[in-house]
Amino acid sequence: MVNTKVTLCGVELDNPVIPASGTFGYGHEFAELYDINKLGAFSFKGTTREERFGNPTPRIAECTAGMINSVGLQNPGVEKVVNEELPKLKKVYRKKVMANVSGFSVEDYAYTCAKLDGCEQVGWIEVNVSCPNVHGGGMSFGTSEKAAAEVTRAVKKVTAKPVLIKLSPNVTDIVSIAKACEDAGADGVSLINTLLGMRIDIKRRKPVISNVLGGFSGPAVFPVALGMVYRVAKAVKIPVVGMGGVSSAEDVIEMMLAGATAVEVGAANLVNPFASSEIVDDLPRAMEKYGINSLENIIGRC
């Protein structure tokens, strides 16, 4: 009998599979399709201090082995998440959920995290300093060691929950930024967020996406993500949550061998809403195939 359990920042998960923020709504949408309690956890839709409509449409473009999105953090704002979305989720989900937070100032991050700190359902706070689809916030905090550390310190002051900083691959040295977050008190890091990319409509000779550039995700980015997870995991002592192009049980195992304690599944959920469920179901088979008795024993064993 294989053991799929892992422990992320002191919280035990039945398995390491976590649907990524922006690909799983606030959970109850997917609960209509299957029992989402089979998941290790999930990271809910990126939440900001105030309600956001997001970027103008069109904001999705298909690519070979992936997709580009520029949704722009569309969400109802933290007050509605706390008072409406989380109570609705509680009816269908009994485990801890990961709260994904973004902002446009250090004060924004601190305010939103403080609000979510009081929610019993929230097990971890994933602080997104890497969204490429907003101006004046998001990724601008994750491209410098100083700014990422400043956000980390501000959030740690207002919450007792484990804080994971979600890092951008669109930087020169992701390792130095991860270490800066660790030094500032982060309990973990998650990576990678999407790469910057674009598509052009040849007939119209204009960008497909209204925002021109968007976040590129999907199977094509997996090798890039795996390499960054490996480098960061070797450099820090805090847990790493790996993501980027994950679409199979074998991908999960690769991410864990590279150093990830848990693994987020993103774009695959948008192509197949049962993707995360199917990966959970397939993990025992993959573990038996490769002679793995316990997933915790393979973390960083590459």
Catalytic center residues: 131
Report d(CA 45, CA 23) in Å as an integer.
Answer: 7
Local structure of 78: helix, strand or coil: helix
Residue 264 CB partners (closer than 8 Å, separation 6+): 18, 19, 20, 21, 43, 190, 241, 242, 243, 246
Report d(CA 94, CA 117) in Å as an integer.
Answer: 18
Closest to 99 measured CA to CA, from 76, 127, 72: 127
E-assigned strands of the chain?
6-8, 11-13, 17-19, 60-63, 66-69, 97-101, 122-128, 163-166, 188-191, 195-197, 200-201, 206-207, 214-217, 240-243, 262-265
